[in-house]
Structure 1
Amino acid sequence: MNQLKKLLIIGFVWPEPKSSAAGERMMQLISIFKENGFEITFASAAQDSDFMIDLAEFGVIKRSIELNSSSFDDFIAVLNPDVVLFDRFMIEEQFGWRIIENCPKAIRILDTEDLHCLRTARQKAFKENRTFELIDLLSEEVAKREIASILRCDLSLIISEFEMNILEDVFKINKELLFYLPFLVDKMNEEELLKLPSFEDRKNFIFIGNFLHEPNWNTVQHLKESIWPSLKKNFPEAILEVYGAYPSQKVLQLHQPKNGFFIMGRAEDANEIVKKARIVLAPIRFGAGLKGKLLEAMQCGTPSITTSIGSEAMHLDLPWNGCIEDNPEVFAKKAIELYQDENLWKEAQKNGVEIINKCYQKQDYSDKLISFTNSLLIDSGSHRLHNFMGNLLQHHAFKSTMYMSKWIEAKNK
């Protein structure tokens, strides 16, 4: 009988699929590897949370680890994983050199979640009231760290085709080091829309998003200050419900029931809430990756209105599941039209089904990922030999990372 291949996932946090798209993404990855015969251990130095998923229910072994501690070396020497998946580049920086030192044959995969340097550069341009340009990325400090991490790994999972193009064209990354892996969901047909709440049975606008994520807080500010006044003036009975995990005090202070603006806090079941809403509003002004809230809206048959940043790389050239609009006044006008026009609303619903089926089908990507991983397991030598820049970065950068970590460990003792 063949021995199960071992996958070690080192998490930035413990997965919370009901709190964030990142948590949902991680559970999709776990599902792919589990279905293909991998024994999975999920390790993290993060504190447990009240909302983390019970990994044991999915047949995943949970292990707590420490930062800057040689106890991790002992842990992985015993585990001896075949594949290690780093959850974001900061985790690869912290633990990558230890993997190389103790398990040099293990295949190293980085899940970028989204390009942090893109999100950071866009946020900086927004706050400085200037237009973001791709050349801005080349001077971004976090880009140097993130790209170095991508080069050091055998494979990096990229969630957005726009970001794939940036990595290949702006940063000149060899495409053999990159694998496009969007969100993955089940196929949907138009008959399933009939099982969802109808146009008449839905009410209110909603926004939903984890408030630990800066673009979500900025979006709610934008809604309150620039869009809702116009929308409410022209549609007095309008109500907006804002849901999201980890709302800060400044988020809660936006609660204004007299103006139809409700801060609802954490959604116990986001899926059910989105299904009951008539429209999702997401005027996102900066960010990166794919927007899980907008894909979830499509799955729930709920049209959405978003910006060009919000819809980026999410729909190929297919008609959007509602409207894409950057101008706040026009955004408000389109929101009212879509809310009131049943035919327009149903057409938007159908557009969402087409986007799901053409852009996010699990079977289109999962088999390729496993095939690529298995080919690396069979012959990583040639793949690594041709990644000269990655080898160079390992040789130099990891020495400084290693000595810094060991210095911190000695200081802590």
Structure 2
Amino acid sequence: MQNLEKNSVILVIGYVWPEPKSSAAGSHMLSLLRLFKKQNWTVVFSTPAQKTEHMINLADEDIESVEILLNDSSFDKFVSELNPDLVLFDRFMMEEQFGWRVEQACPNAMRILDTEDLQCLRGARQHAHKNNRTMAKEDLFSDLAKREIAAILRSDLSLIISDFEMELLSETFKVDRELIHHLPFMLDTRQDTPSSKSFSERKNFVTIGNFRHAPNWDSVLFLQEIWPLIRKEIPEAELHIFGSYPPKKATALNNTKTGFLVKGWAEDAFEVLANARVCLAPLRFGAGIKGKLIDSMVVGTPSVTTAIGAEGMTGHFSWPGIVANTPQEIAQAAIRLYQNEEQWVDSQTTAKDILASRYNGDILGESLLNRITKIQENLDQHRKNNFTGAMLRHHTMKSTQFMSRWIETKTQLKQLSDKH
């Protein structure tokens, strides 16, 4: 494989500062940054977001971090001077904001969109859930989808975390497969697996997830319906609920009498998952693949989740636990898995096979680098083949650019007015 030159510069434009201990998106971003660093590339991470208490110190990874501004031409000077060989946009909103600026300042830089998960799919499912019905195809064709698919088409390559979403883009939205690349979580299989306690050494149930992520908060509310059914059959059991940024409405649900315990931030997600016998993830909407369920597989904790939770994660393998959807089905599945050691051990074995087959970071990383190299070697032709993308970059389609220019001008005029 022919890599980029060792002195190549990679600019990442983040939606937020990476928080690998708070979210799967943060872990996924960190794995990409580390992959680029392993190629001896210079990696610069930039974002307009405010710094947070759980953000990783990128200096420890030998990655420069730069704060940038929205709707401000100072970015044009910054990116022009940096002159990156490749720019990675973290979610489509960053491509909307900065893609046209990158194209103008550095037209030869390859532009990659990391979707994390399809926002339009999650939004369509959330809308259907709020209306107490199953998602229809028409729900997908929203304004959000038009923006997200446009960003994918404007990019040279988009990273798609779920094979379900690969099919959705290809079959429903008719996106050319030359523009998308399947990239699930890249795990370091060379590291020792966190110690896995036996069935008898574990007790209680666990769920974990960033409370700011709507599907996670909804699943906690759903667990309020499910937990009494479990507790009735296993009265000594507790449900430990972990997650970063718990709001007061979440901590108010803590109830020691019923064993519904809201713990909040977990310093080590692997540790809290490894101590539990079963992970519960009753997700009623969402997209992508779920970091909590991957982490559960890593530490050998079987899980009970919904069809949406399991989507796009296992390929031809069975689920390492049980998939169920109604409160009664989920409760019965959780009770059965909690009490049946044979089924529990079988689920652990299945998890190991899934991780080895589908989440090997070395294999996935090499595949991505090969794809990048192939496109870079024929970047002009690759872009010519994507006429729809070229059309979307035509000046008649650049509403986001002109809106940004208008906001910047309005801000400058206000500043001048305030001075006088």
Measured against the shorter chain, the TM-score band is: over 0.9
> Offset at 1:318?
0.9
> Offset at 1:186?
3.1
Alpha carbons 2:159, 2:180 under 8 Å: kept: yes
Partner of 1:181: 183
Alpha carbons 1:321, 1:352 under 8 Å: kept: yes
Partner of 2:367: 368
Matched, 1:37 2:40: yes
Partner of 2:321: 322
> Offset at 1:199?
1.5
Please give the alpha-carbon distance, in whole angstroms, between the structure 2 residues aligned to 1:400 and 1:143: 16
Please give the alpha-carbon distance, in whole angstroms, between the structure 1 residues aligned to 2:109 and 2:49: 23
Partner of 1:127: 130
Alpha carbons 1:87, 1:110 under 8 Å: kept: yes
1:96-141 Cα offsets, whole Å, 9 max, x none, are 0100110011000000000000000001011111111234212x11
Deviates more, 1:107-116 or 1:354-363: 354-363
Matched, 1:271 2:270: yes
Partner of 1:331: 330
1:185-234 Cα offsets, whole Å, 9 max, x none, are 13389x968x422222211100000011000000000001x211111112
Partner of 1:75: 78
- The alignment's C-alpha RMSD in Å is 1.5
> Offset at 1:77?
0.8
> Offset at 1:37?
2.4
Q: Secondary structure at the match of 1:259?
A: coil
Partner of 1:49: 52
Please give the alpha-carbon distance, in whole angstroms, between the structure 2 residues aligned to 1:137 and 1:241: 34
Please give the alpha-carbon distance, in whole angstroms, between the structure 1 residues aligned to 2:395 and 2:297: 46
Q: Quick one: structure 1 residues 66 and 398, their matched pair in 2 at CA, closer, same or farther if it must change by over 3 Å?
A: farther
Alpha carbons 1:107, 1:377 under 8 Å: kept: yes
Please give the alpha-carbon distance, in whole angstroms, between the structure 2 residues aligned to 1:282 and 1:98: 40
Partner of 1:211: 211
Partner of 2:29: 26
Alpha carbons 2:231, 2:237 under 8 Å: kept: yes
Please give the alpha-carbon distance, in whole angstroms, between the structure 2 residues aligned to 1:360 and 1:5: 27
> Offset at 1:3?
5.1
1:313-369 Cα offsets, whole Å, 9 max, x none, are 111121211101112112111211211222221111111111111111112221121
Q: Quick one: structure 1 residues 250 and 318, their matched pair in 2 at CA, closer, same or farther if it must change by over 3 Å?
A: same
Please give the alpha-carbon distance, in whole angstroms, between the structure 2 residues aligned to 1:289 and 1:262: 27
Which residues of 2 match residues 10-409 of structure 1 at below 5 A? 10-138=13-141, 140-187=142-189, 195-224=195-224, 226-396=225-395, 399-409=398-408
Please give the alpha-carbon distance, in whole angstroms, between the structure 1 residues aligned to 2:161 and 2:11: 20
Q: Secondary structure at the match of 2:257?
A: helix
Paired amino acid for 1:103: C
1:5-50 Cα offsets, whole Å, 9 max, x none, are 1100000000000000000000111111111222100000111111
Please give the alpha-carbon distance, in whole angstroms, between the structure 2 residues aligned to 1:357 and 1:249: 40
Q: Quick one: structure 1 residues 105 and 203, their matched pair in 2 at CA, closer, same or farther if it must change by over 3 Å?
A: same
Q: Quick one: structure 1 residues 22 and 3, their matched pair in 2 at CA, closer, same or farther if it must change by over 3 Å?
A: closer
Alpha carbons 1:303, 1:349 under 8 Å: kept: yes
User: TM-score when scaled to structure 1?
Assistant: 0.96
Q: Secondary structure at the match of 1:50?
A: coil
Please give the alpha-carbon distance, in whole angstroms, between the structure 1 residues aligned to 2:389 and 2:83: 23
1:270-329 Cα offsets, whole Å, 9 max, x none, are 111111111100011100000010000000111100010000011112121110111211
Q: Quick one: structure 1 residues 180 and 5, their matched pair in 2 at CA, closer, same or farther if it must change by over 3 Å?
A: same
Partner of 2:418: none
User: TM-score when scaled to structure 2?
Assistant: 0.94
Deviates more, 1:206-215 or 1:353-362: 353-362
Q: Quick one: structure 1 residues 273 and 364, their matched pair in 2 at CA, closer, same or farther if it must change by over 3 Å?
A: same
Paired amino acid for 2:167: N
Taking only the aligned residue pairs, the percentage that are identical comes to 49
Q: Secondary structure at the match of 2:175?
A: coil
> Offset at 1:235?
1.4
Q: Quick one: structure 1 residues 260 and 347, their matched pair in 2 at CA, closer, same or farther if it must change by over 3 Å?
A: same
Q: Secondary structure at the match of 2:150?
A: helix
Structure 1: which 5+ runs fail to align? none
Please give the alpha-carbon distance, in whole angstroms, between the structure 2 residues aligned to 1:104 and 1:55: 27
Alpha carbons 1:188, 1:356 under 8 Å: kept: no
